[in-house]
Structure 1
Amino acid sequence: MKKLLLTFLAGIALISCNEDKKKEVTPEENPNLDVHEKIAMVNGFKEFDSIKKIKFTFNVKVNDSIRSERRWNWNVGTNKISLTENDSVMSYTRKDSLAENKKYIDQRFVNDSYWLLFPFQLKWSLADLSEPKKATAPISGDEMQMLTVSYPKDGGYTPGDSYDIYFDDEFMIREWVYKSSDGGREMATTWEDYKDFKGIKIATMHKSKDDSFELFFDDITVE
């Protein structure tokens, strides 16, 4: 689930400096956008170029026990990133080549920010996208549109993973299913409790069907 995609970094740099992004239109203004573009747009993709810093805490709770709590401070312009975990502070700058001792923090940042801003990854990353189709969502049982996002089998921390994303008529993701490349792991979670941060919509809660697993964000600030 932890992707190290060079296009993620390149996409951020491109968005930060490309003034033409400000001219992008919403899905309502341009119905000819592809589905993955509409998902990114309704979640505030065109607002990202004006963001300077993002802070957030990534939390994982399993059976009422907190398993992970990582506080991130991300300078979007410089790509300098700081992690506070277990009262320890680590920092690094994302770039094409990473020192071995920085891979621990980078692996976690890629994972955590991927959950935070997945709709933008639909435009940033080089994933294969299926044609959307009607399907029954695994948790709610509701009929929604479903799109499969598959990553290359080489590169990244866990190559070959895929995601079935279920989204509503407003192009907001409501559920997804993660599938590991070796077929050994599959996990469905909700996408809920969306909050708006300067035009960027973030699902702050993700739960399994039986509520035994929760992945959630708090202490989010966007500057």
Structure 2
Amino acid sequence: MTRAGPVSLIGVLLLGVLCLPAGVSAQQRPAIADKIAKTYGFDSWDQVEAIRYTYNLEAGPVKLSRSWVWEPKTDQITYEGKDKAGNPVKITYSRSQLASQSAFVKEEVDPGFFNDQYTLLFPFHLVWDTGATVTDAGMHKLTLGKGSAEKVVVKYPSEGGYAPGDTWELHVGTDGRIQELVFHRGGPLKPSVVILTWAGHKKAGPLLFSTDKRGTADGKPAHVFFSNVAVKLVGSSTWMEAQ
């Protein structure tokens, strides 16, 4: 993947390790990690047939919008956005056959999917990601807002993944909802520090999503937001819109 491409500019804001590993045992993570995941609907994940969403980014001159449908049980992904030439494109692929896909899918689309999916579903990665170390750091003052919240630090290993050494600091309310995120990149790519609110909570079926995130990337304004969010449950043909 070229570092000047759209994923590197955006990949940005929040790209973590490029895998969906099996869950860590509950004994290896603090109770707050499970509380956060459950708050966002983790216990109902097995009911989900598909998730639909559009990832939008506004950060200085960078403006991006790309849409996804993810079917987690088969790991089939549908991407709607632009190709390298800026032309509209729609691509459906299976991650089990990623090696046979075009360079554009392997180097741009699939990394983009993980970036956007991590940003939308990070509460679930507290349970899914085996390589990360999750620590309950106690009560701390909010970085952007007023008051205090429980600080949960998620540290990725220094080797492996797309951006080794990344650290996510979550500020969590008593209701288990994330209020703010402070992201520290482990490598030399920019931005080095991203600070975002975790707002615009909406529910689609049994899942809860934060759809609006505002703050800064290396001190400059950044806005990440999700639109067209919906969930389809197993055995149903109906999309349940986030509201």
TM-score, with structure 1 as normaliser: 0.82
Residues 96 and 119 of structure 1: CA distance in aligned 2, closer, same or farther (over 3 Å): farther
Given candidates 50, 54, 57, the residue that maps to 1:53 is: 50
Runs of 5+ unmatched residues, structure 2: 1-13, 24-29, 83-87, 233-243
Unaligned runs of 5+ in 1: 12-32
CA distance in 1, matches of 2:91, 2:117: 16
Residue by residue, what CA displacement relative to the aligned partner does 1:56-85 show, whole Å, maximum 9, x if unpaired? 00000135x661101001112211101111
Letter of the aligned partner of 2:34 in structure 1?
E
Q: 1:154 aligns with which of 134, 159, 162?
A: 159
CA RMSD of aligned residues (A): 2.2
Is structure 2 residue 35 aligned with structure 1 residue 38? yes
Give the superposition deviation at 1:9.
5.2
1:171–1:83: structure 2 CA closer, same or farther, 3 Å change rule? same
Alpha-carbon distance, 1:138 to partner: 0.6
Partner of 1:27: none
Q: Paired residue for 2:80, among 81, 84, 95? A: 84
**Count of residues in correspondence between the two structures:** 200
1:61-119 Cα offsets, whole Å, 9 max, x none, are 135x6611010011122111011112112232224974572232111111100011110
SS of residue matched to 2:136: coil
Query: Do the aligned partners of residues 104 and 54 (structure 1) sit closer, same or farther apart at CA in structure 2, a change above 3 Å counting?
Result: same
Out of 119, 125, 129, the residue aligned to residue 121 of structure 1 is 125
Q: Which residue of 1 aligns with 2:94?
A: 93
In structure 2, C-alpha distance between the alignment counterparts of 1:96 and 1:164, rounded to whole Å: 34
> Which one of 201, 205, 209 corresponds to residue 202 of structure 1?
209
Corresponding residue of 2:112? 108
The one-letter code matched in structure 2 to 1:193 is G
Give TM-score scaled by structure 2 length.
Answer: 0.76
Shift of the 96–152 alpha-carbon distance from structure 1 to 2, 3 Å rule, reads farther
Indicate if the aligned counterparts of 2:18 and 2:162 stay in contact, CA closer than 8 A.
no
Percent identity among equivalent residues? 26
Q: Is the 8 A contact 2:21 2:129 kept in 1?
A: no
C-alpha separation in 1, matches of 2:47 and 2:220:
36
